[in-house]
Structure 1
Amino acid sequence: MLRGRHSSKLMPLLAGLPLPLALIWSAPAIAQTAASGAPAQTPAATAGTASANDQGDLNEIVVTGVRASLKSAEAIKRDAPEIVDSIVAEDIGKLPDRNVAEALQRVAGIQIQRNYGEGSSVAIRGLTQVRTELNGRDIFTAGGVDILNLEDVPAELLAGIDVYKNPSAEQIEGQLSGVINFRTRKPFDFDGFKFAGGITGNYYDLADKTGPSGSVLMSDRWNTGIGEIGVLADIAYQKDYFRDDQITTEPFYTLNQSRNPDGSFVNPSDAATAAAMGRSGQLTTIPHGGGLNKNYGNRQRFGTDVALQWKPTDTLDFTGEVLRNNYKFNIRGNAFFATTGDGPITPLPGADFKFASNGDFISGTWEDVPLGSYASLTTRDSTTTDYSLKAHWTPTSNLEITTDGQYIRSDTSQSNFIVITNGPNTVFHQNISGDVASFSTIPASQTTNAALYSNNGFLDDFSNSVGEEKSGRLDVKYSFDTGILKSLRAGFRYTDRTNSTRDTGYRYSSVNGRGGLENYDLSDIFRGDANVFGSVVTFPLETIGNYANTLTAFGLNGAPPFLPSGSNAQSQQTYAEYGAAYFDASPLSIPLDGNIGVRIVQTNLGVSGYYQQVPQIAQPDGSTATGNPQYAAIAFQDSYTKALPSLNLRYHLTDALQLRLAASTNLAAPTFSQLNPSLTLTEPGPSQHAEIHTATGGNPLLKPMTSRNLDASLEWYFSDQEYVSVAGFYKKINGYIQTAITPRDITFPDGKTYTYQVTSYTNAADAEVKGAEFSFQQFFDFLPDPLDGLGLQANFTYVDSQAPSPATSGPVTSVPLELLSRYSYNLIGIYEKGPLSLRLAYNWRSKFVETTAGVGTGNLPIFDQPYGQLDGSLTYQVTQNFSLGVDARNINNALKLSYFGIATRPRTATISDRRLSVTARVTY
C-alpha cells in the first residue's frame, strides 16, 4: 500500500511552493522519468513519502489507498506544462477499475464505448481520433485500427494512465483529441525488493459463470561493480465471461406514395400497403420485422512485462523493456428473426395498427413473414510484443541527451462462422411502444416445430493481420541557469510501419436438410422480463463451437483458402523533427511560464489491395456453392508534410490558483482500415436473396484530418488532494472522416444483379467541436468522526459538435460527430478511514450517434439513447501486507437502447451482465 501523510496546517504553504516542474512534466519527460533509472521517482511512486516537518503535528492525516492515488494524480495535473488528467493505481497492479477503458471513463472529457458489457474504446472531448502510447511510445493492435484496442491490456500491468488534452511539440503526432499514455512500473521506482500479488474471482450473473484473474509483480535492485542494476517482472492473467441479450426492430422504410405525372403510383406495392392499413396519402414508416440475439462469450488476457535498468554512472542510465500481451475473444450465439429484409411486408387484413403522430409504426400484425435463425461463432486472437531500449545521458548539469529505439509486432487472427436456418412464413405481431419491443407468431408453435425448419447455408471466413513498426528518436535538452529562457529542446523521430491482412472472404456453402437442429430455450432472455419468442429452432451452439464438427455436419472438407485477391497491405514512413523553448517570466516578477514550439512531420504512405467478385456456381444437384473469385489489383501512394505549432501558457494567479491557455494544431491520418482499397462482393446464396446485401470497403483517396485547437483551464488546488477546475476548448477540424453508405447495383457473371449497400468513408465538410469541462475533488476531513472519511469526485463535460448528415432529406439532415455525447458526468463517492475503503461510481452520458448512416434507415444515423451505469468497490486492509476487496459492476442493470434517426424508430434494446468480484492481495 502506498502511504504518506501531510499536515493540514501546512497545506497553504505546500500549495504555494515554487516548484520548477515545468521542466520535469513535459510529455516526453513523463515518459522518460517513468522509464529511466534517474533517482527521481514518478508521483505514483512517491505519493506516500512523508515530509520530515510533518512528524510532530498532532492533526496529521495519513494518506493511503485511494487518497494516495488521487494525490499523485492531482500532482501530475497541477505541475504538467500541458493540460493533463491522470489515473494512478492506488496499489501495485490495481487501477480503480478492472478494465482500462472503464478506468478512463472517470476522467472529465472522456466517453467510452462498451462491447458486450465491457468498455472497449474511448473518445476524448467528443473525438475518437485518439493516440495510444506505452511509456511514451507507439502501441497498437494489428488489424488496421492504428491504436491499441483497450480491451486487450490487463489493467494489473499498469502503474497509471496519463491523458494529454493538448499537445506540446515533443509529443508524437497522430491525434485530434488527445494522447493516452499507459505507464508501466520500473525496478528503480522502488527502493529495493518489492513483491505484490493478487487473485480475483469474478462472477457474471447473466452468463452464470465465474472467471479467475490474478497478477504477480517482483522487482529488485542491486549495487554492483558495474553500477546499479534493477530487474522487474510483472505477469497478469484474466479470464472473463459474458452474456449479451438483445431485442431488435429493423429495418424501417418509409412508404413511397408519390404519383407519376399520369397519376399512377411510383411504387404501387407501397401504395397498396398504406391502403391496407388505412394510411393512404399519409406519411407512413413501417418496420420490416424484428428479432432477438442471445450471445455467450469469454475474454482471456495474458500479459507479461519485463524491465531491466542499468545505471553505470551518475550521468548515464539505460532502460530495456519487453512487454507482451495476448488477448483471446470468443463469442457464440443465436439470432432468431421474422423479417422480409428489403422486400415489402404485407399487413394482415383486418388487423389493428397504431401509429405515432409523425406516421411512425407503433404496433400491428403482418402476414407471410419469413422466419429464420443464425447460429454464429466469432473469435479473435491478438498478440502484441513491444521491445524498447532507451539511453539517458547528462554529460553536464545543463545538457540532457536521450535516445530511444523500439520494435513492435502485433498479430491478429479472426474467424467467423454462420449457419443459416430457414423456417416457414408466419403471421407476425409486433409492438414497439415500450423500451423493449414485444413480438409473437400466430400460432406461437411455429417457432418451436423443428419439422418446419431446414439449414440452407453455411458461411465461414478467416483473416490474419500482422502489424510491425521500427522507430527511433533522439531528444536533446539544454537548460539555462538564469534568465527567462529555462530550456531549449529539439529532437528527431523516424518510424517505419507496415500492416498486412489476408482474408479468405466469406465462403458460402449451400447446405440442405433438417437434421441436427434443436429447440433453444429463450424464456430467460432479459432475465425473463421480455415478451418475445419463448423457444426457437436453431443450429446447436455446441456444434458451431467446434469448427471441425460443423464441417462434418455439413459434409465439407477443410477451410476456405487464402487467395492473393484476399490480401491488402499498408505502409507508412514518418520523419518528424521539433524544436521547443520553455520559459519562466518569474525573474521579471511575472508569474507566467510555458512553452512554444513546432513539430514538422513528413508522411509517405502506400496502400494496395484488390477489387473482387465472388460468384455462385450451380452444382449438379441443383444447389449452388461459392465459386472462384474474379479480381483486379489496386494500389495507391501519397505523401504530405505538415507543420504543427503549439503554445502552452500557465499564469499563477495565486499560489493555489492557475490559469492555462493553449493553442495548437493536430494531425490525424486515416486509419489503415479506412484506407484499405479492397472491396469484396460475394453473390448471395439462394437463402439470402431477400436479405439486405451489404459490403464494407475503405477509401484510399482519404486525406489526413487536421484540427486547430484553443484550450483554457482555470484550476484551484486548495490542498494537495483537493481541487476544482473548469476548462473550455474549441476545435476546428478540416477534412473530418465520416461514414457513408452508397447503394451500388452489382452484376455477377451469371447475369444476376443485386443492390449492395456499401459502407465506406469520406472526408466530409469541415466540422467544429467546442465544449467545457468541470472537475471537483475533495475529502471532507472537517466532518466529525466517522464522517471525516468521506470524499467526493465529480466531473461534468459538455461537448457540442455538428457535421453534415449523409442523408440529404428527411427528418435528420445534420448530426453530431460519431460516438459523441453532448453531456456526460461522473459522480464518485469515496469513504476511506482506517482499514476500510469504499467507492461508489456512477457514469452517465447523453444520446450519441453510433454511425452517421445505418443500413435499413434510409441513410439515417443510428443514435444510442442516454446510458448510465453504477459500479462500486470495497477494500479492507486486514494487515499491512494483506487486503481483501469486493467489486460490483453494472449494479443498476443498465439498459442500452438505440434508434434509427428519430426516437420513434427503435432499433435495439440490450442488457449485459452484472459482475461481482472478490479479490485477495498481498504486498511486500
Structure 2
Amino acid sequence: MTGSTAARGSRANLKATASLAALLMAGWAAPGLAQDQSGTAPTQAPSPTPAPSPEGQDSSTVNATTAPSGDQGVVDPNSGNSDASGGDVVVTGVRASLSSAQGIKRNADQIVDSIVAEDIGKLPDRNVAEALQRITGIQIQRNFGEGSSIAIRGLSQVRTEINGRDVFTANNGRTLSLEDVPSELLAGVDVYKNPAANLIEGGIGGLVNLRTRKPFDFDGFKLSASGSANYYDLYDTTKPQANLLVSDRWDTGIGEIGLLVDLAYQQTAFRQDQISSQPFYLLNDTVGANGTPANPTDYATAQGLNRVGKPTYLSHGVGIGQYLGDRRRFGVDAALQWRPTDTLDLTAEYIRSDYKFRYGDYSYFAYTGDNPITPDFNQPFTYDKDGNFRSGTFVNVPTNANTSLEQRKSVTSDYSLNAKWRPTDRLTVNGDFQYIRGTTDGQRSIVILASTAERLNTAVGNGVPTMIITPDNNPANGNGLVDDPANYASGGGYLDHIEHSVGTEYAGRLDVDYKFDNSFLRSIAAGVRYTDRSAVTDSSTYAYYGLTRALSPDLYQTRLFRGDLYRGFQGVPDGVTFFNRDVVLDYDATRQALAPFVDPSQQQALLNGVGYVPSDRNTQGEKTYTAYGVVRFGTSGAVPIDGNIGVRAVKTKVNTSGFIGSSAQVQTGVDTAGQPVFGNGPIVYNALTVDSNYTKFLPSVNLNFHFTNKLQLRLAASKALTRPGFDQLNPNIIIYENNPTNGQRTATTGNANLRPLTADQADVSLEYYFSRTSSVYAAGFYKKVDGFIANVTAPETYTFGTNSYTYQVTRPLNGDNGKIKGFEVGGNTFFDFLPGWLSGFGTQANFTYVDSKAPSPDAQDTTGAQLTVPLEQLSKYSYNLIGFYDKGPLSARVAYNWRSKYVVTTRGNGSGNLPIFNDARGQLDASITYTIAPHFAMTVDGTNLTNTENRTYYGVANRPQSSVLNDRRISVTARLTY
C-alpha cells in the first residue's frame, strides 16, 4: 500500500467521527443519522499519546490529539470498533460530533476543548465568539448584539492563531477580532487552557486556534454549497449569507496533488435600542463652622427638595439611542498540497479575511454632565431608602441631538508555506514560513445639534428610565415631538476622527520530533522560531467645528421613537429632530454639507478633512527569538502515567518610535483693558525612540494518570506570558504650557517601558468517560499574574525655558500581582437507554466559577488604601444548559447560556469612584435541521429568542446606567454537499 493510499484509508476510517467533531461542545445539533448505538468504551486503558504536533505544522494525523493546523489531526479514541461483518461502524450526526470532542479532550497532552464544524461551512452560532461561549470556562463580550471577544478562565489576555500561526487585526493590538472572520471558513476551533512548551507564547488566559480545511482532508472530490437568509426582527430587515467549498486531489507523475478553495460571504444587520440614566451625583449640603454652605448650589438644591441632612444622589439626566448598522464579511481560503513521496508533504495556503462594519445612530440626551442640575421644586420627587433618585422633574436641561457614523474596514492576508519530512518512522522534521499583513481604516464623525429642554420629567425606578420633555407653556403636553429646527438655531458642532493601521509579520520556524519505542522516554521534540513584526497606527485627535447658525431644512430629519423604540416603550418622546442620517452615512458628504454652517475660518479645514500630526503616529517594531524542548514520557503498571515536561525560552526585542510635542505659552493679543492675553503657541515635535528587550523562560509540565480505562486525572503546572498591547506602548505625548485645568496641568500617554504580564498557573482535571458520547468532568485552576497593567496618574515635571511646571500625567504602569482561581464542572450524554425514538435525546451542561482579585489604582477604601477588585468583564458564575435531539433525518438543539453580573469598569464616571456593573444575563438560542435527501438539508435557527435585555448600573443596582435591547435573528439555510 502506498503512503497516499494508506493516508486515504486512514482518513476514510476517521471521516465518520471527525466530520462533525467537537461542535456538540458548543451545543449544536447536526443533520445526519445516528447509526451506532453501542457506546462501547475502549477495553484497555489508552496508551500515552504525544502532544500536539509542533506549532503550525500541517499533518495528516497526530495520534488522537489536535494538530494546530487542520482538523485532520482529530482522531476518535473509540474509532476502530467493527461490526460483525468486519466493516467499520459509521457514526454520524451529533454522536460523531460528541465522540470526536471527547477524543480530543481525552487524549490531548494539555487541557483542550474543541469545536468542529459538523458540516462543511457550518460552525455553530454563525460567530466564532458565540460558538466559544458554549465551552466551559469561556465568557464573551458582545458588540451590538454579536459576540466579539472572549475571556478564558477570567483573563481576556487570550492568544489567537490560525492553523497554529500568528493572526491579528491591525488595530493597535496583538490579537484577531473574532467578529472579523466568517465562521464558514473554519473546520474547527481549539481552546488550549494551559500551555505547553511547543505552543507559541502570548496568552496568559489561553490560546484559541482557528483551523481551516485542507484538500488531503478528503478522499477525493468534494463540493459543498450553502445559502442562508437571516432576518433581524428589531431592524426588520433580511441579509444573505453563502459558502462554497470545492476540493479535489489527483495522483500524478510527480506525486499526489490536492487543491481546495473555500469562499464565504456574510451580510448581517443590527439594531440596538438603548435608554440610559446619566451619572448620579451626591449633593454636598454640608455647612462650615461659620454657617456657610461648602457648596451653595448643592445646599440650595437640597433645601428646595427638603433633603438637607439626608444623603441625596441625583441623576444628571437621561438619554435615548438607536443604533442601526451592518457588517459584511468575505473570506477566502485557498490551499495547495503536494506529496511527492511517502515521506514528504508540502502545503501552501492563502487565507484572507475582509471585514466591514458600519453604523449610524440617533442619540438624544438631556443632561448636565458634572454641572448642577436644577429641579422643579413644585413637582414631586421620590427616592429610595438610601437617597437614590427615583423620579422627578428638572428645568432648563441642556440637550444634544446627535447623529453619528462609525465604520471600520479590516483586511488580513495570511500567506504560509509548510514542509513536513519523515525520513524514518521515528524522525519528523517540520519547516514553516508565514507572511501576514493586516490593514484597518476607520472613521468616527458626530453631528451635534444643541438645545435646551424646558422641562424634563424622568423616572428610573427598577426598570427602563423614562424621558418626558415638555415646554413650559404647555406642561400637559404629554410627550410630544421635539422637532422644531428653530430649537437648534445656535449651538452644536461636528466632531471628526480618522485612523489607519498597518501590521506586518514574517515568521519562520523549524521543528524536529524523534520517537522512541518501548521505553519510559517516548519522544523528544525541539524547535526554534523567529518573528519580525511591525505595527504602525495613525489615530487623529478629534477635530471640532462649531455650528454658527441653523442648517438648511433639507439637512434636518425627524426620527419617530414613541411606540417604536425599545419595542414599543411609551416613556420617550414621540420623535426628535436630527441632522439627516442619510447624509451622515456618507463621510465625505457630511463635511461638504456642514461647511457653509461653520465659521468661515474653519470651512476649508472641514472640507479638507481631519489629518494627522506627528504625535498621531505610533510605530512599533518587535522581533522574537524562540527555542523550546519537550520530553514526552510514559509508564505502565497499576496506574499508567504519561506526560511531558518542557521549557520555552523567548527573547523579545522591541523598538518604539513616537514624538514628544511641546507648546510654549505665547501672547496672542490684549484684552479690552490692554492687558496681554496668553495662549498656546505652535507645537514643536521632538522624535522619541525607546529600545527594550527581555528574555523569559516558560517551563511547563503535564501529567495524566489513567486510573481505569474510563477515569483519568490530569495535573499541570506552567508559566505563561502576554506582551503589552501596542497602544499601551505608545510613547506619544503633548505638553501644553498654558493648560491648567481646575488648577492642574494634565496629560495622557502610553509607556514604552512596560514589561509583559506573566502568570504562574496550576491546573487539575478529573475526567470520566463512560461511553463513546458520554462523560463527566471537574477541573480546578489557579493563576497568579504578575504585572497587571493599569492607568496611573502621577506628577511629572516639564520645563519651558526658565519655567518648570508639574503635570499630572496618566500613563499605564505594571502593577502588583493578581490572583484568579476557580473550578469547572460539566458533562454530556445521550439517553441511549430509552426505547425507540426517545433514544435520540441528549443533553449537555457545564458550570464555571471564577474568583479574581487584582489591584486598582483608582479604588480606595475609607482610609485611602488601595483596594483589590474583581477583574473587569469577568462573571463569577456562568453556565450552559443544552438539550438536543438527533434521530433519523431530524436534528434539533436548544441552548441557554447565562452569566452573573460583572464589572464593566472599576471606576465609573459620576459613580463616586464606584465600579460600573453589567447585570446578570441569559440568552436562549435554538435550531432544527431536517435532512431531506442524503446530500441536501434544511436548517432553521434562531438566536436571542428570549429578547434578552442587557442592563448596567452605577455601583449599586438602584443607580441604573443603561438598558439595551438587540435583534432576535431567525435564519433559514439550505445546504448541498457532494
- Following superposition, the deviation at residue 219 of structure 1 comes to 0.6
Is residue 2:634 matched to residue 1:598?
A: no
After superposition, the CA RMSD in angstroms is 3.4
Alignment partner, residue 622 of structure 1 = none
Residue in structure 2 matched with residue 118 of structure 1 by the alignment:
146
1:832 aligns with one of 875, 886, 901: 886
After TM superposition, give the deviation of residue 482 of structure 1 in Å.
2.2
Q: CA deviation at 1:616?
A: 15
Deviation at 1:47, TM superposition (A): 6.4
Q: Answer whether contact 1:201 1:918 (CA < 8 A) is retained.
A: yes
Q: 1:517 aligns with which of 547, 556, 577?
A: 556
1:160–1:681 distance in 2 versus 1, CA, 3 Å: farther
CA contact (8 A) 2:480 2:573 kept: no
Shift of 1:534: 2.0
For residues 695 and 892 of structure 1, what CA distance do their matches in structure 2 show? 46
1:559 corresponding residue in structure 2: 609
**C-alpha distance in 2, partners of 1:48/1:584?**
18
Given residue 497 of structure 1, which amino acid in structure 2 is its aligned partner? R
Is 1:737 matched with 2:765? no
Aligned to 2:292: 264
Secondary structure class of the residue paired with 1:159: strand
* Deviation of 1:785 (Å): 2.3
Distance, in Å, in 2 between the alignment partners of 1:683 and 1:366 is: 39
State the partner residue of 1:571.
621
Which residue, out of 544, 547, 570, partners 2:584?
A: 544
**Amino acid in structure 1 at the alignment position of 2:762:** L
Contact 2:203 2:722 in 1 (8 A): yes
Residue 746 of structure 1 and its aligned partner are, at CA, apart by 13
Letter in 1 for 2:82: N
Between the two proteins, the alignment pairs up a number of residues equal to 903
Asked whether 1:644 is paired with 2:683, we answer no
Q: Contact 2:52–2:62 at 8 Å: present in 1 too? A: no
Counterpart residue type for residue 519 of structure 1? T
Contact 2:274-2:965 at 8 Å conserved across structures: yes
Q: How big is each residue's C-alpha offset from its partner over 1:288-342, in whole Å with a ceiling of 9 and x where there is no partner?
A: 1110110100000000000111111111111111101100000100110101112
Q: What TM-score, normalized by structure 1, do the two folds share?
A: 0.92
Change (3 A) 1:880 1:629: farther
Partner Cα distance (1:550, 1:215) in 2: 36
Corresponding letter in the other structure for 1:460: D
Offset of 1:579 from its aligned partner? 1.1
Moved more, 503-512 or 386-395: 503-512
| Alpha-carbon distance change, 228 to 35 in structure 1, aligned in 2, over 3 angstroms | farther
1:416 lines up with 2:435 in the alignment: no
Q: Which residue of 1 aligns with 2:399?
A: 371
Change over 3 Å in CA distance of 1:240–1:679 after alignment to 2: farther
Partner in structure 1 of residue 842 of structure 2: 791
Structure-1 separation of matches of 2:667 and 2:535: 33
The equivalent position to 1:664 in structure 2, one of 712, 715, 718, is 718
What's 1:698 paired with?
A: 750
Please point out which of 888, 892, 903 is paired with 1:849.
Answer: 903
Amino acid across the alignment from 1:553: A
- How far did 1:694 drift? 11
Whole-angstrom CA distance in 2 between matches of 1:675 and 1:65 = 48
Contact 2:145 2:272 in 1 (8 A): yes
Distance 1:590 1:787 in 2: 38
In the TM superposition, residue 357 of structure 1 has moved relative to its aligned partner by 2.2
Q: Given residue 248 of structure 1, which amino acid in structure 2 is its aligned partner?
A: S
Partners of 1:770 and 1:142 lie apart in 2 by 32
Taking structure 2 as the reference length, the TM-score comes to 0.87
- Equivalent pair of 1:450/1:519 in contact (CA under 8 Å): no
Select the residue among 447, 451, 455 that pairs with 2:482: 447
CA distance in 1, matches of 2:96, 2:159: 28
CA contact (8 A) 2:71 2:211 kept: no
Which residue in 1 is equivalent to 2:162? 134
Cα distance in 2, alignment partners of residues 163 and 827 from structure 1: 20
CA distance in 1, matches of 2:847, 2:72: 26
1:776 maps to which residue?
A: 827
Contact 2:45 2:710 in 1 (8 A): no
Q: Is the 8 A contact 1:70 1:88 kept in 2?
A: no
- 1:729-788 superposed Cα distances (whole Å, 9 cap, x missing partner): 00111111235689999999xxxx9x99x9753323211100000111101111122211
Letter matched to residue 528 of structure 2 = F
Q: Taking structure 1 as reference, are residues 259 and 470 closer, same or farther at Cα in structure 2, changes over 3 Å only?
A: farther
Matches within 5 A, 1:181-220: 181-220=209-248
Write the mapping of 1:386-535 to structure 2, written as runs, cut at 5 A: 386-443=414-471, 444-445=479-480, 447-454=482-489, 456-515=492-551, 516-523=555-562, 524-535=564-575
Residue 178 of structure 1 deviates from its aligned partner by: 0.6
Q: Distance in 2 between matches of 1:590 and 1:130?
A: 35
Find the residue that maps to 1:654 and give its secondary structure.
Answer: coil
Which amino acid in 2 is paired with 1:11?
T
Residue 438 of structure 1 deviates from its aligned partner by: 1.0
Question: 1:35 and 1:674, CA in 2 relative to 1: closer, same or farther beyond 3 A?
Answer: farther
- Aligned partner of residue 854 in structure 2, secondary structure: strand
Equivalent residues of 2:405, 2:445 under 8 A apart:
yes
Secondary structure at 2:860's aligned position in 1?
A: coil
- Distance change >3 Å, CA 835–CA 8, structure 1 → 2: closer
1:154-187 alpha-carbon deviations (Å, 9 max, x no partner):
0000000000000111011111111000110001
Shift in Å, 1:360? 1.9
Letter in 2 for 1:539: F
Task: Report the secondary structure of 2:508's partner residue.
Answer: strand
Distance 2:53 2:707 in 1: 21
CA displacement, residues 836-864 of structure 1 (integer Å, 9 cap, x when unaligned): 11011100000111122233333332210
List per-residue Cα deviations over 1:223-267 (Å, max 9, x = no partner).
111111111100000000100111111122223344556553332
* Matching of residue 718 in structure 1 with residue 770 in structure 2: yes
Give the whole-Å Cα distance in 2 for the aligned partners of 1:760 and 1:202.
Answer: 44
* Number of the residue aligned with 2:958: 904
Higher mean alpha-carbon deviation, 487-496 vs 810-819, is at: 810-819
Which of these residues, 626, 641, 656, is aligned with residue 607 of structure 1? 656
Alignment partner of 1:63: what SS? Answer: coil
1:171-182 mapped onto 2 (5 Å cutoff): 171-182=199-210
Measure how far apart 1:24 and its partner are.
5.3
Offset at 1:149?
A: 0.1
How far does the alpha carbon of each residue in 1:812-842 deviate from its partner, in whole angstroms, 9 at most, with x for none? 9542101100000001110011111101110
* Distance in 2 of aligned mates of 1:291 and 1:617: 41
> 851, 856, 859: which one pairs with 1:807?
859
1:703, distance to aligned residue in structure 2 (A): 2.1
- Give the direction of change, closer, same or farther, for the CA distance of 1:741–1:350 in structure 2 (3 Å limit): farther
Q: Report the alpha carbon displacement of residue 116 of structure 1 after superposing the two structures with TM.
A: 0.2
Superposition deviation, residue 575 in structure 1: 1.0
* Counterpart in the other structure of 2:272: 244
Q: Is the 8 A contact 2:58 2:418 kept in 1?
A: no
Matched, 1:54 2:83: yes
Q: Distance in 2 between matches of 1:31 and 1:329?
A: 33
Mapping for residues 35-434 of structure 1, pairs under 5 Å: 42=71, 51=80, 53-56=82-85, 63-260=91-288, 262=290, 264-434=292-462
Answer yes or no: is the 8 Å Cα contact 2:872–2:902 preserved in 1: yes
Range that drifts further, 271-280 or 327-336? 271-280
Instruction: Supply the distance in 2 between the matched residues of 1:840 and 1:617 (Cα, whole angstroms).
Output: 70
Letter matched to residue 53 of structure 1: S
1:708 counterpart letter in structure 2 = D
Once the two structures are TM-superposed, the CA of residue 696 in structure 1 deviates from its matched residue by 6.9
- Answer with 351-360 or 862-871: which moved more: 351-360
Preserved CA contact (<8 Å) 2:57 2:431? no
Code of the aligned partner of 2:414: D
CA apart distance, 1:44: 7.5
The 10-residue stretch of structure 1 (553-562 or 142-151) with the greater mean CA deviation from structure 2? 553-562
Deviations 1:195-223 (A, max 9, x none): 11100000001111111010000111111
Counterpart amino acid of residue 54 in structure 1:
D
Alpha-carbon distance in structure 2 between the residues aligned to 1:29 and 1:323: 14
Please give the secondary structure, in 2, of the residue aligned with 1:527.
coil
**Secondary structure of 1:73's partner?**
helix
**1:891 and 1:914 in contact (8 A); partners too:** yes
Q: Please say if residues 57 and 418 of structure 2, whose CA atoms lie closer than 8 Å, have aligned partners that are also in contact.
A: no
Identity of aligned residues (%): 48
